[in-house]
Structure 1
Amino acid sequence: MGDWGMMIDQQVDWRVSGVLLDIRGHSEAASACALARIAASAVSEIAGHPVESTVTLVRPDGTPFTAATTDAAGGLSRWDQLAGRGPTSRALGGRLTIILNDHCPDKRWDEYPASLRSAGFRSAVAVPLPLERGYRAALTLYSAETNVFTPVVASRALAFSDVAATSLVLALQVRAGLAQSADLRAAMASRTAVNVACGVIMGQNGCSYEAALQMLTLASSHRNLTIRDAAEGMLRTLPGGVPPTHFQQRA
């Protein structure tokens, strides 16, 4: 096969396969790292050549994170994302890009072929991963061999990326749900401690709840504590200590 390049300039029409990858993690970064490892393994098998992978995730606030199977792949994708002159940045914009034999027809990317070779690669493909809630992501695959991402391999990589995108959406949703649940538990624990402390103050002073809350707020301010810490500190001096919340008792 000759020395040539190809770019597919189109919006990708994703299909739902019904298959999911288990990339759940304790953080967005952990899920992205798991996906990068699985993608490298899966596409290496499809292509018949070793493939390195990166997953570039841009959060709703615009902060990026790049998970990579090797330092060389990670450095190239990070440079691409920041410079905006390569397939990763293009995929983050929702478009598929394939570069074959380290040659790219887009003259705006004059630096990219040299950067690709410098990182030890000759072929690359970047695929957008459509997410939700303001997240953007790109799956970028690299090979040290030329012309690895032929149309046949690219089409199968696209099918895999469909599964990857669906799995990443689910992983981010699960993590968001867990974070929300943790916030709710913290809020409930704080409310329980404050309410019980106010009850104690009401009994000791014969005052209303509003007056008791004002006393507790004043005490927390004088001691440079949060109102919850002030409430729990007061309750620890009582015989029963800080009462558990209902969800703690069921755990």
Structure 2
Amino acid sequence: MMIDQLVDWRVSGVLLDIRGHSEAASACALARIATSAVSDIAGSPVEATVTLVRPDSTPFTAATTDGARDLSRWDQFAGRGPTSRALDGRLTIILNDHCLDTRWEEYPASLRTAGFRSAVGVPLQLERGYRAALTLYSAETNVFSSVVASQTLAFSGVAARSLVLALQVRAGLAQSADLRAAIASRTAINTACGVLMGQNKCSYEAAFQMLRLASSHGNLTIRDVAEGMLSTLPGGVPATHFQQRA
């Protein structure tokens, strides 16, 4: 999605299409859109990173340039800049390369080294244990004025809602895929047990134990043993059918 006109990001219901095949893909799409949107807001080119921290605390940083990505990663792990602050959920902070606030220690120098002169970090409010920060960088000083910052905050609200939705869709798809795999596995196992019950005149429990014993001896999953056995039969492995509800 490219931003070809100014958008009022304060309008309720506005969302970004950042659905992707993975969480990383959604974060990358958001970083690209943020670059376009905030560049329009500021009237000057900016670069963006989206730092996403998963519930298990593993981080991923999506960026529009290598310099922006490296700086946000350093900031996150060093805890000395707007990215780390935003990941902690704290308010937006604007930094320039001439910042005299000693709390930031070497950050202004790191900002200059990366080719930037100003930066702003915004927390993205997510759900289900996820944390995220949108960090924006400019090669010019004082780009993020109070007016630009206010509109950037409005955009960040849209970005957060869009990312929450994208993560929910991704989780739903993963859950659906896991369910389908489980049902397919159960179909093969149940069919193989039925064959063994007929061949050995035994119960389902006894047939299942035969598959379990074969799997332990062959260092295979029970599903692999079942499918291997069924593949030698005339009908092969039965297909699993899923019915879509209206």
Structure 2 length-normalised TM: 0.92
> Where does structure 1 lack aligned partners over 5 or more consecutive residues?
1-14
Runs (4+) off by over 4 Å: none
**2:147 maps to what in 1?**
152
The counterpart of 2:209, out of the listed 214, 218, 226, is: 214
**AA at the equivalent of 2:69:** G
Query: What is the deviation of 1:46?
Result: 0.6
Residue 107 (str. 1) matches residue 102 (str. 2)? yes
Q: Take 2:117 and 2:89, find their aligned partners in 1: how far apart are those partners?
A: 23
Pairing of 1:157-172 with structure 2 (within 5 A): 157-172=152-167
Q: Higher RCO, 1 or 2 (CA under 8 Å, sep at least 6)?
A: 1
SS of the counterpart of 1:201? helix
Pairing of 1:1-251 with structure 2 (within 5 A): 17-247=12-242
Query: What is the deviation of 1:245?
Result: 1.1
SS of the counterpart of 2:242? helix
Query: What is the deviation of 1:97?
Result: 3.1
SS of the counterpart of 1:124? strand
> Where does structure 2 lack aligned partners over 5 or more consecutive residues?
1-9
Q: Render the CA deviation track for 1:194-248: whole Å, top value 9, x for unaligned.
A: 0000000000111000001011111122222110000000001111111111218
**AA at the equivalent of 1:79:** W
CA contact (8 A) 1:100 1:146 kept: no
Matched residues, percent identical? 86
Q: Take 2:216 and 2:77, find their aligned partners in 1: how far apart are those partners?
A: 45
Q: How many residues align?
A: 236
Q: Render the CA deviation track for 1:50-76: whole Å, top value 9, x for unaligned.
A: 000000001111111100000000000
Query: What is the deviation of 1:110?
Result: 1.0
Query: What is the deviation of 1:16?
Result: 7.8
Q: Take 2:202 and 2:215, find their aligned partners in 1: how far apart are those partners?
A: 19
SS of the counterpart of 2:96? coil
